């Protein structure tokens, strides 16, 4: 799919505020509301706009610990990796899961209420996997930046 400057401007606006009305969006990017609607519909149909969500501040709702977990597997075997991915992605505590290169095989971003909840997560997801060699947990003391946007080419 080809993206022109207007597509990129629309995506940039929507990443910052997806609650914009079509009319407001059209005004911001300098096109008619019908053209804006058509472009946004095309971006959705092509899967560029995957979904729209509301971002919450979990620390304002309940106590929260953010963990970065580096996972090293025993063997480099695709079916075992796929099984681990299935289990990790299904765990509600796992907010992000990356298969990476280098000294570790996976990096998980995990959010839990407290250390007891993290211990339960470890027992259920990490220790129970037969291909788990070891993992290292980094506990976030403070989240200084959290950004869900995609860096787009200059708009």
pLDDT at 153: 82
Mean pLDDT of 93-112: 97
Ordered by where they begin, the domains of the chain are 5-45 (1.10.10.10), 58-139 (3.30.70.920)
109 within 8 A of 68, measured Cβ to Cβ = yes
> What is the pLDDT at residue 129?
92
pLDDT tens figures, 15-56 = 999 999 999 999 999 999 999 999 999 999 999 999 999 999
What's the pTM? 0.84
- Is the predicted pLDDT of residue 84 greater than 90, yes or no? yes
Q: What is the pLDDT of residue 30?
A: 96
CB-CB contact of 132 with 71 (8 Å): yes
pLDDT for 13 beyond 80: yes
């Amino acid at each position: 799919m080809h993206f022109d400057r207007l597509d990129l401007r629309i995506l940039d606006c929507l990443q910052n505020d997806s609650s914009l009305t079509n009319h407001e969006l059209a005004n911001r990017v300098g096109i008619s509301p019908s053209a804006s609607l058509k472009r946004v519909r095309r971006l959705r149909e092509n899967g560029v706009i995957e979904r729209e969500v509301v971002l919450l501040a979990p620390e304002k709702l309940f106590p929260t610990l953010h963990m970065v977990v580096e996972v090293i597997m025993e063997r480099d075997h695709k079916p075992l990796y796929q099984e681990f991915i299935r289990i990790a992605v299904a765990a509600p505590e796992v907010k992000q899961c990356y298969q990476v290169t280098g000294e570790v095989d996976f990096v998980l971003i995990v959010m839990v209420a407290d250390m007891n909840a993290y211990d339960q997560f470890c027992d259920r997801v990490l220790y129970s996997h037969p291909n788990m060699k070891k993992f290292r947990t980094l506990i976030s003391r403070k989240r200084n930046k959290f950004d869900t946007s995609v860096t787009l080419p200059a708009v």
